[in-house]
A and B are shown apart, each in its own frame.
Chain A
Amino acid sequence: MHAISFQDVSYEVTQKKILSQITGHFTKGRITTLVGPSGAGKTTLLKLCNGLLTPTTGQIHILNRAYEEYSPPDLRTTVGIALQAAPMIRGTVYDNLALPLTLKKQTLPPQKAAHYLEAVGLSKDICQQDARDLSGGQRQRVSIARTLINEPAILLLDEITSALDQAAADSIEKLIMQLNQQHDVTVIWITHNLEQALRVSDEVWVMIDGKLIQQGTPAILQQPTHQQVQQFTEGALR
């Protein structure tokens, strides 16, 4: 079953084509990584999945339902996203973690906040810290935890370990793989780190210049058969 499928999806802004005719799918219950050079349109594709952008043309299906059948808040809680810049609202770390629930007029019990912080490798002592004072790596981790609070069926991750050292990145990778295996969460993961892609992926999408160049198992990165993919992996691994 497809978690998300695309049929001829394009996205343009003022005459500029950012995504061209994407056709493909993300398999349910799997981890798919999205790789490709900077500016390839990876973030744009994730924002389409979460309804932050709407395709100019083409069809998207989410869990076998047409995209248009979802109300935006429904779509966005079913398909959660951890944004590339890991933005924080003003307030404390707790305010940020509780945000998904506050928006639904619910409260986040402090034990639950502590639990989520622990899961991403942070101490619960930072709950009352101003979120604007967090380090880059701490922000990324709070951002992941915040996205998980909505318990999305599909999880979109945009370069979530780019500011982390290897040990912290490893623990996040473990956490995501665990969520995937134990809770059947489908994961779409943008990474510029090809080794990370090889470690975590069931499937890989290679995007270049707004196009989906190749979709397959991690083998398409290890033994590239496609010329453009080969050029990209040589550049990226060098």
Chain B
Amino acid sequence: MSYFTLSLTLFFILIPLVLSKTLRLDLERDVLVATVRAIVQLLLVGYILTFVFEGNHPLYMLIMIIIMITTAVLNARKKGQHIKGITWKLAVTITTVEVVTQGILLGFKIVPATAQYVIPISGMMIGNAMVLSILFLNRFAAEVDAHQDEIELILSLGGTPKQAIHHQLIQAIKAGVSPTIESQKTIGLVQLPGMMSGQIIGGADPMQAVQFQILIIFALLTNAAISSIMLGFLSYPALFTKQMQLLKEQ
């Protein structure tokens, strides 16, 4: 595909712009910013990936992965500013997800240890862990907010913070994991997963694309479980004082 052909896809941007203008949705600025960012970021990544793939040096891969984790953490922590130490808690969670997934994939030699495999899979895992972390943090805050009474009741009867918040924590963890499970039930029926579509368009054999997709969805399940549970157990103590009182949000 030439850059000229690619530039024709800007028609896809025109449509929302016109709609936003006529319906006064006031989204023009957002759409433009998002478009420019997408172009710049993806082109940049394209160049970097070419460089990393050609070099195929473990250090380049490591640097790429660290950059991905950092970006994910910085993005997700906005949703958890009420939790003390959220930055390192997210960093530990997302790093664990990456280490466990790659540990299994590379340790059992399921995929070869080359940049071509490690980087895209890392991107998917880290991105997914980020989205799930945000989902978890939002839901956890909402659950705690809606059930302050019950939490305080359990504390007032001599319960520990862990006992007091147990129900809210479990609800938020479930909310973090269940979309992954739900989407697996309809996968391939409703929509072809992005990675698989990309491979097929790129000319890969559909069966091979499917095999990879199966690998990815299984990995995502581990990913979902680890990220919600770990982040949950790391973050709930920050909602209480040393004297076992629920911190009220200001």
Contacts and interface: CB of A to CB of B under 8 A. Distances in A.
Interface of A: 14, 50-54, 72-74, 76-77, 80-81, 83, 85, 87-90, 99-100, 103-104, 146-147, 150
B interface residue count range (under 10 / 10 to 19 / 20 to 34 / 35 or more)? 10 to 19
Interface of B: 149-150, 152-160, 163, 167, 241, 243-245, 250
B250 A103 contact: no
A54 B241 CA distance: 10
Q: Which of A72, A76, A85, A89 has the most CB of B within 10 A?
A: A72
B243 A72 contact: yes
Contacts of B152: 52, 83, 87
A147 to B, nearest CB: 8
A51 B150 contact: no
Contacts of B160: 73, 103
12 contacts: A14-B250, A50-B156, A73-B160, A74-B158, A76-B156, A76-B157, A83-B152, A87-B149, A89-B150, A89-B167, A103-B160, A104-B158
B149 A103 contact: no
A104 B158 CA distance: 9
A136 to B, nearest CB: 15
A103 B245 contact: no
A100 B157 CA distance: 6
Contact of A87 (B153, B158, B167): B153
Contacts of A87: 149-150, 152-153
Contacts of A80: 157
B149 A85 contact: yes
The main secondary structure of chain A at its interface with chain B is: loop
Contact of B243 (A14, A51, A83): A51
A52 B150 contact: no
Nearest to A82: B156
B156 A54 contact: no
Given A72-B244, A73-B244, A81 B154 contact: no
Given A87-B150, A103-B163, A76 B158 contact: yes
A104 B152 CA distance: 17
A192 to B, nearest CB: 21
Contact of A52 (B155, B163, B250): B155
B153 A83 contact: yes
Contact of B158 (A14, A88, A90, A103): A103
Contacts of A76: 155-158
